[in-house]
Chain A
């Protein structure tokens, strides 16, 4: 009897987790989301760029933030640094090699809560065909009803990746071994 109750309780709790954690789709359609990057140029300034095309979804419940999950898929071909010649080079086999690796992907594995809407999102990031575990420091911006009958939640997250970890070995100088990625996402509750 005890066992059955326990099992039923477990099952129930699983069910409620599924029911409570709301599913969100990142609003790429309305472009209330962006994937930005910056890298140092010669150590003298920051070069900013972005990926214009990506998609993703996340689940989030403000009461149980550690149960959140997120996955984002980036179309590497959409890299945009506001300079066609540079973008052509970034897409070549010196860097993103988009012909061979058209997608970059992040899938979360674990979420830690830091309090005050701050989260540490652990996950696997795949770029240039190689996968590494990264941590995205995430900040909740806000959530609530939108004026058109929907419900939205938005976050920003930053992480630093080292290009060599992903097999991108083109030397851009000692200050430019790493790229800082910033995600701004707004999800629409499904």
Chain B
């Protein structure tokens, strides 16, 4: 049940999916909020510290998630041919946007040679400055990418809801808990009877 099957995701994929979902929304909200904080606000230094720490941890989780995904069977995509194709492109784009967000975020804070401290736990070292005004360039990208990711996530959510309520397939359910092959077949039968 930890691993994926032909018809459903396993617990590990499900866990990492929802962990990422919570992290992405929180990071987006905190990111927008923290850059406009008043200098004397008690969160002025702590909010960016948490944002960076969570970002690094999410990057590590995501790298492992991609690795895990590559070692697993992918549950069969559901829907029409174009939907399957669009889903594949969108899922790929979600990963790419996430990776670019990690890289751009890293490049902002490390432009001056400082590393990124993760929850007073470990430090990710800087690789130095690659381009002039790296912090500005990376900052602008980080901003655009964040909006781009959230837009795509909204589309992703709408598509999941469409599969669940309109197509009445298992797309959403199998990301909530692993379905056995039996359950999938049952669901298929029910759908055919409708």
Contact of A84 among B38, B39, B40, B135 (CB under 8 A): B135
Is A4 interfacial (CB-CB < 8 Å)?
no
Q: Is the CB of A88 within 8 A of B39?
A: no
A87 touches B39 (CB 8 A): no
The one of B40, B108, B110, B114 in contact with A88, judged by C-beta atoms closer than 8 angstroms, is B108
**A88 contacts B112, CB within 8 Å?**
no
Residue B139 CB within 8 A of the other chain: yes
A83 with B112, Cβ < 8 A, contacts A88-B139, A91-B136 known: yes
State whether A172 touches B136 (Cβ < 8 A). Answer: no
Q: Looking at the complex, which one of A85, A91, A172 makes contact with B108 (CB distance below 8 Å)?
A: A85
User: Across the interface, do A87 and B135 meet the contact criterion of CB distance under 8 Å?
Assistant: yes
Q: For A173, what are the chain B residues with a Cβ–Cβ distance below 8 Å? A: 39-40
Q: Mark A47-84, 1 if CB is under 8 A from B, else 0.
A: 00000000000000000000000000000010000111
24 contacts between A and B (CB under 8 A): A77-B133, A83-B114, A84-B109, A84-B110, A84-B111, A84-B112, A84-B114, A84-B134, A84-B135, A85-B48, A85-B108, A85-B109, A85-B135, A87-B135, A88-B135, A88-B136, A88-B139, A91-B133, A170-B39, A171-B38, A171-B39, A171-B40, A172-B39, A173-B40
